[in-house]
Amino acid sequence: MSNDTVYQIVTEQIIEKLAAGVAPWRKPWSGGAGPAMMPTNLISKKRYTGINALLLSLNSFSSPYYLTFKQCQGLGGKVKKGSKSSVVCFWKFLDRPANEEGGDQDDSKVSNYRPAMLRYYRVFNVEQCENLDKHIPAATVTEGGEFNPIEEAARIIEGMPQRPVIVHKEQRAFYSPRKDSINLPKPESFDSPSHYYGTAFHELTHSTGHESRLNRPGVSNTEKLAPFGSEDYSKEELVAELGSAFLCAMAGITDTIEPSASYLQSWLNVLKADSKMIVSAASQAQKAADFILGINQN
């Protein structure tokens, strides 16, 4: 199966939601707050990240735990008849190609390059399985009282390494690469604190592209972000949308702004024109969210 086929499978799922009036990245994960409630493999306990976190968030299960058909069988469980699996993508790295003389390419010329192919496998949520109760971790309770998403959102912002300056001088939200600063409308002008922090996360995601942070094309070494309507604008804006969604999920914020019809149509047009964009943007957004959260990406 080619890379293009996998890209198309993934993008069609996102397009289906957009066509139904739902922007998937505006619908963070439900069922709780914090990293423990993000989509997670039941066996390895590793969180699904990037495009996989987004794809699995399209489901409506209350449990965050997933596993493959084989993993389910290995635990003595059984997938319920008629259950529909979910797609999870991964990169399969291949051996480096030989040079024209039949030997390996010169390491000094190829650096650490290794060709890779995008592949996928299928997983099931534990709610689609039987006889797994003893293997499913009990829900955790936050110590020190009830979890507060707004306090957690504020903590995430305060804890961001190399955080840019945040000001509230103008009634519009934007990131300035030239000044390396973020302007946000005053908090009281938002419909809710959740909307304020969702917007702040969006602009903070933009800021991670600065050359002093992740050095992302479209943000680094420029005085301002790409103009509205350009290809670079669409790519960077999608990174920011996804980054905000990942951070909202980590903070436990679920009441995000409902998208307009024109907003949904604009993303439908973009993703139909470029099936690779959603996978690439999700990867960049995950790196941005990890940077903001202070998670080591090595």
Could you read off the pLDDT of 129-175 as tens digits, one per residue?
999 999 999 876 555 556 688 999 999 999 999 999 999 999 999 99
Residues near 100 by beta carbon (within 8 Å), at least 6 away in sequence: none
* Mean pLDDT to the nearest integer, 194-200: 95
Q: Which residues pair with 18 in a beta bridge?
A: none
Give the chain's mean pLDDT. 88
Q: Which of 61-65, 92-96, 177-181 has the highest mean pLDDT?
A: 177-181
Residues near 144 by beta carbon (within 8 Å), at least 6 away in sequence: none
- Supply the pLDDT for residue 48: 95
- Supply the pLDDT for residue 11: 96
CB atoms < 10 A from the CB of 210, how many? Answer: 19
Helix (H, G, I), strand (E, B) or coil at 209: coil
Closest CA to 10 of 22, 21, 24, 20: 24
Write down the residue that tokens 């300056």 correspond to.
Answer: 165
- Chain centroid to CA 111: how far? 28
Q: Which of 21-30, 109-118, 204-213 has the highest mean pLDDT?
A: 204-213
CB atoms < 10 A from the CB of 83, how many? Answer: 13
* Mean pLDDT to the nearest integer, 271-298: 92
**Of 5-9, 16-20, 136-140, 208-212, which gets the smallest average pLDDT?**
136-140
Say yes or no to pLDDT of 90 above 60.
yes
Question: Diameter of the chain by CA atoms?
Answer: 68
